[in-house]
Structure 1
Amino acid sequence: MTWLITGGAGYIGAHIVRAMTEAGERTVVYDDLSTGLADRVPDGVPLVVGSTLDGERVASTLTGHQVTGVVHLAAKKQVAESLERPLHYYRENVEGLRVLLDAVTAARVPSFVLSSSAAVYGVPDVDLVTEETPCVPVSPYGETKLAGEWLVRAAGRAAGLSTACLRYFNVAGTARPDLADTGVSNLVPMVFERLTAHEPPRVFGDDYPTPDGTCVRDYVHVVDLAEAHVAAARALRSSPGRDLTLNIGRGEGVSVREMIQRVTALTGLGPAPVVTARRPGDPPRVVASADRAAAELGWKARLGVDDMITSAWDGWLLRHPGAGRG
């Protein structure tokens, strides 16, 4: 098979391309490079620069490379930005997916994997979130991910696609320093940025109904996440007609305060955090039950939080030489 990875030059996408290629799958990257980096694409893997909103370019890519499966990651993903620019998020995340699915069904591509998010659950009032937990997103970003799942399932039923919607929890870490997250919208790089500037990390609210008052999240290593995509792709190929919706997490909650403490301990940089106002759209606790992914894919996260922090720190130091000095 040949898998088209949309957003394959991004942080997560590059890891999925790497994992798929190492597993012996042929891959093609489709990315508009608005946030992705061309040098993340491995030698020998074709890169097509384009938007998923460009139906003609998508269609020519599918046929020109004889694509037989799609992993769709290309999307806007910042909750705060989605609150400020909801129309932009719906256009990029929902209309872009609709255009892509139109081309996929016309080309009779049999398998489709969607990058979804725990943001579809909103503010779940449960200790562990299962795939049956009601989806009540509280941001336009989460709404677009849920709408994307609806689109994928509907297109799958109508066209006979095998589909998988993978709901990512909080992704961190890197396989190699040069593939590290270059953004600072996620907690770990946000803390790195503050510490290496000799500024205290920020805690957005410490009055949540959690053990230490800060938000609790389920962090999953990007390497484990990428391996989940390989497992999902192979599950769809081996069993046509499947319709999977799966949480991709570790099933272990870590608070923001605890994560900051681990980062400072592992980096040796230690300004005490400061508490600021809550951010809109932040739920108190979101932790996955990953039992269904284990049952359906035989997949389970292997790497822990310290692995995420130390690998991400190596990536940060590669891009910021001297950042670890006091």
Structure 2
Amino acid sequence: MSSRTQPQSAPLTRREIREARRAHEPKLRSLQAFASQLVRKPADADTGDDAQTVVFSTAGQPRRRDLRVAEGATAVHSRLTPRSTMLGVLGALALVAPITGVAQYVDHAAAATVGTEKNVLAPLDANAVAVATPETLTEDPVAIARAEAAAAASRAAEREALEKAEAEAAAKKAAEEKAAAEKAAAEAARQVVVPLPAGTFRNTSGYGGRNDPLGRGAAYSYHLGTDFAAPRNTPIHAAAAGTVVHAGAGKDGRSSNLVVIEHNIGGETFYTWYVHMYNDGVYVSAGQKVAAGEVIGGVGSNGNSTGNHLHFEVHLADDSTIEPLAWLQQHGAKDVSQL
């Protein structure tokens, strides 16, 4: 509907209408006389455009009744003679124009707007066309079922692939962790430590032949270990990881007390001996697992000893002995503070 506001005027009284008709009667008669002189060719000889336009003077959209009147007027046009048509139009203009005031004012912009507006039935037709049958009603149920089955199979395959990938990743991680643990364990197994902390001891008697400090003769002239003099209860550390095979009273002629630990280093078996602890200086027991550097006792002077010291021996698998300091150096022994 056009938004233009038509000018408003006061309604005419009956007297004003009668006066307007009397004032325009001469004009009407002259127009009728002029129309009677017009001569028009027959309809079958027309070469121009004979279409007649019917104009409705309305402020809003045309009504269905107006549309039907327009269609009827178009149909009647074919039955009217040119002369009667012209006279009717001129007569209508002569009567209506003075009364409604159209002759005095014509809003050309409003008329153009009304003439170009769409038919009010067009939106109804457009809506009727836009309403279509839902796609779900036109689809093939079998095709839908197949599509859903294919989608479900695809999702199942994706889940299976994801679970497989996760399982492989977990297995790989577990294998890496196991390998790292085994490597760490192997490194720890190869780790060798000096049995007393640096700065707490001094070497007073080496491995090999010597004069027995207690004067017991040639039977005691060969020293099977090395002596580390240190204050009493200085911590004694396991030289390597292993299993305690003896802890307590002396054996094989060794003074009480002593600790013996079995080691496997690089595939070789060794035994380390720690001698001269007091009863309260033995901190482990047989069968106990110990790590390299773990404290196993305290320095003492128990048995055949002239002072507080650690008698340290290294035995091979056949129970033969080797030089302890050379064995420590061969295996890259570290101070316990470096662990």
TM category, shorter: under 0.3
Query: TM-score of the superposition, structure 2-length normalised?
Result: 0.18
TM-score normalised per structure 1: 0.19
- Based on CA coordinates, which of the two structures has the bigger radius of gyration? 2
